[in-house]
Amino acid sequence: MRSGDGWAPAADRRALELRARVNARIREFMVSRGILEVETPALLQAVDPAAALQPFRVEAGDGRRWLHTSPELPMKRLLAAGSGPIYQLCHVWRDGERGRRHNPEFTLLEWYRPGFSLSALMDEVEALVHHVTEGIRELPAPFLRLSWAEAMTRCAGLADPHRADIPALRETLAVAGVDVADAGGEALDAWRDLVLVHCVEPALPPSVFLHDYPASQAALARIRPGDPPVAERFECYLGGMELANGFLELTDPVEQRRRFEAENRARAAAGLEPLPIDEAFLAALEAGLPECAGVALGVDRLLMWLTGADAIDAVLAFPWERA
């Protein structure tokens, strides 16, 4: 089916069949564990204002709306209403994210587990990956679990990652032969991410969970007090590629509003449009979000690993330029 003509799909028949098989296995896994499939709107009046994400804006008859970058906020409203464990398999949109592993429109599997610890959710992510990949491609090794600090020390040589400043992170990149100029600017977390991408990810074990991220990278996760405090968050990597991002979910509406406002200030400082605060979501937190853990998994990336594809286009019927 591949062709140089713009009308033709990028993925071949095998990739299309595999996607259908993977989707079916995901649903089979969720049904077996009593997790309810739900659907929430893709066009929203408010989305997560995270400065790192750029939603697509749509002009509607009743004003502006945004295509969701994740179904997280509406799904948490369902949780607050007593839905119990839920999942969603849907398309999401993030403007400006185009590359070998990124397409602005992609497929996300997101699910929430009331009463689960972060460790229990990691167990479930691993079980899902085993279920979906069985008989298609053998996993390279059992999943290891490393803290963010352990990974930064083991793979990048940082003795005290949580306290490393920008000059130390810049030096780490220089020693590794990575020239990023001033790509991180004056933001400490941007430099941490550069070290993670260029020094840590290429050296990670083939299947691993990283957990206990810096508190400044909590997003919508809880922060566990300590020295240093850490975000109750994990990322799952398979074949050196980030596959899933999970949180022990923040349930405090006051702290959540504070974080949304901080993200909007960061957006304004970066010359980006501040976004409306999702008051319906905050009202749901006020009503009572149950203690829960949640995770989002990139289905296209899982398909990339299953097929051995080097680029996401090989598993998409019509990537961005052909959509």
Query: Residues 248-299: pLDDT tens digits?
Result: 999 999 999 999 999 999 999 989 999 999 999 999 999 999 999 999 999 9
Q: Which CATH code fits 13-139+250-322?
A: 3.30.930.10
Residue-by-residue pLDDT tens, the chain, 323 positions: 454 577 999 999 999 999 999 999 999 999 999 999 999 999 999 999 999 899 999 998 788 999 999 999 999 999 999 999 999 999 999 999 999 999 999 999 999 999 999 999 999 999 999 999 999 999 988 999 999 999 999 999 999 999 999 999 999 999 999 888 777 678 899 999 999 999 999 999 999 999 999 999 988 999 999 999 999 999 999 999 999 999 999 999 999 999 999 999 999 998 999 999 999 999 999 999 999 999 999 999 999 999 999 999 999 999 999 99
Give the closest residue to 52 by CA, choosing from 236, 264, 319.
Answer: 264
Q: Is the peptide bond before 205 cis (omega within 30 degrees of 0)?
A: no
DSSP secondary structure string, 213-245?
Answer: EEGGG-TTB-EE-SSS-EEEEEEEEETTEEEEE
Neighbours of 62 (CB within 10 A): 6
Q: Is 130 helix (H, G, I), strand (E, B) or coil?
A: helix
Q: Is 39 helix (H, G, I), strand (E, B) or coil?
A: coil
Give the closest residue to 170 by CA, choosing from 143, 199, 142.
Answer: 199
Query: Using CA of residue 36, residue 48, residue 235, residue 312, what is the dihedral sign?
Result: positive
pTM summary value: 0.94
Q: Report domain extents, the chain.
A: 13-139+250-322
The side-by-side arrangement of strands in the sheet containing 43-44 is: 43-44, 63-67, 57-60
User: Residue for token digits 């001033």?
Assistant: 182
pLDDT for 118-149, tens place per residue? 999 999 999 999 999 999 999 988 999 999 99
DSSP secondary structure string, 161-185?
Answer: GGG--HHHHHHHHHHTT---TTTTT
Within the chain, what is the greatest distance between any pair of CA atoms? 57
Cα–Cα distance, 148 to 209 (Å, whole number)? 9
Give the closest residue to 23 by CA, choosing from 37, 9, 12.
Answer: 37
> 274: which 2 tokens?
């501040």
Cα–Cα distance, 169 to 191 (Å, whole number)? 6
Cα–Cα distance, 6 to 36 (Å, whole number)? 39
User: Residue for token digits 């009572």?
Assistant: 288
Burial of 14 (0-12, 13-18, 19+ CB in 10 A): exposed
The pLDDT of residue 264 is 96
